[in-house]
Amino acid sequence: MIHPSAIVAPGAKLGANVSVGPFSIIHANVEIGAGSVIDAYCEIGYPTPLADGLPLRIGAGARIRSHSVFYQGSSFGERLVTGHRVTVREKTTAGVAFQIGTMNEIQGDCTIGDHVRCQSNVFIGKMTTIGDFVWLFPYVVLTNDPHPPSNLLLGCQIGDYAAIAAMSVVLPGVKVGRHALVAAASKVHRDVAPATVVGGNPARYLCDTSTIHLRDGTERPAYPWTTHFRRGYPAEVTAGWDAPAELDGQDTPP
């Protein structure tokens, strides 16, 4: 399962049936779960003093595609999936089934929940916190420096089930609420209330998500999106998603 051209350090811990592709490097301070696949030209466990000696842990069933680089000191749950040319720096912690799109960059010291999906060319700044079931669409940028360049870092906070549409920028320290929607090409400079839609530059309140209907002729509510979309989610996760929730605060169910 290890290609002859791959380099696997003696101290690396690989689970059963791990595959490592051509010209990939697995460094010593790395743990990779069973059944994971590392494609060609990847570097896993890139050494950095910023990791403070912590290992890189990748859960079982991961699929890391070609030319991806993962630094030491991060931890990922089972079923991690990446696109190509991904960079993830140190001290990032993510839950199960994290999807990282092609050309994503995660700058480190980030906390990411379960079943988060990032599409292509997403940038996640240092100190970002992302909840569960969040969607980040292409070219989303989550920033962290309120006075660039400075040594002050204020990470964004993205709530559970929120969706940030393509080419949007969320400014440092901004909180996007649970089940909120940020419209495409928005610049979000202040907090977004749960279950609301904001858009524009600067972003402003547009409506509550409950007022939006699917454009499929049914006039069903489009939000919460969990009432009609579940592609790729396990059945045990989507159980209970059928009934619309009363979106009245941070304790709202799916």
pLDDT digits (tens, 9 = 90+) for 125-138: 999 999 999 999 99
Q: What is the set of domains in the chain, with CATH numbers?
A: 7-238 (2.160.10.10)
CA distance 182 to 117: 15
List the structure tokens of 66: 């070609």
- Over residues 153-169, the pLDDT tens digits come to 999 999 999 999 999 99
Q: How confident is the model at residue 4 (pLDDT cuts 50, 70, 90)?
A: very high
**pTM (predicted TM-score):** 0.93
| pLDDT in the model for residue 254 | 59
| pLDDT in the model for residue 152 | 96
Q: Which of 109-118, 212-221, 224-233, 234-243 has the lowest mean pLDDT?
A: 234-243
Q: How confident is the model at residue 243 (pLDDT cuts 50, 70, 90)?
A: low
Q: Where are the alpha helices (DSSP H) in the chain?
A: 235-238
Q: For the residues 55-75, what does the mean pLDDT come to?
A: 98
- Over residues 103-112, the pLDDT tens digits come to 999 999 999 9
The DSSP code sequence of 181-234 is EE-TT-EE-S-B-TTEEEETTTTEEEEEGGG-B-TTTT--B--SGGGT--TTS-
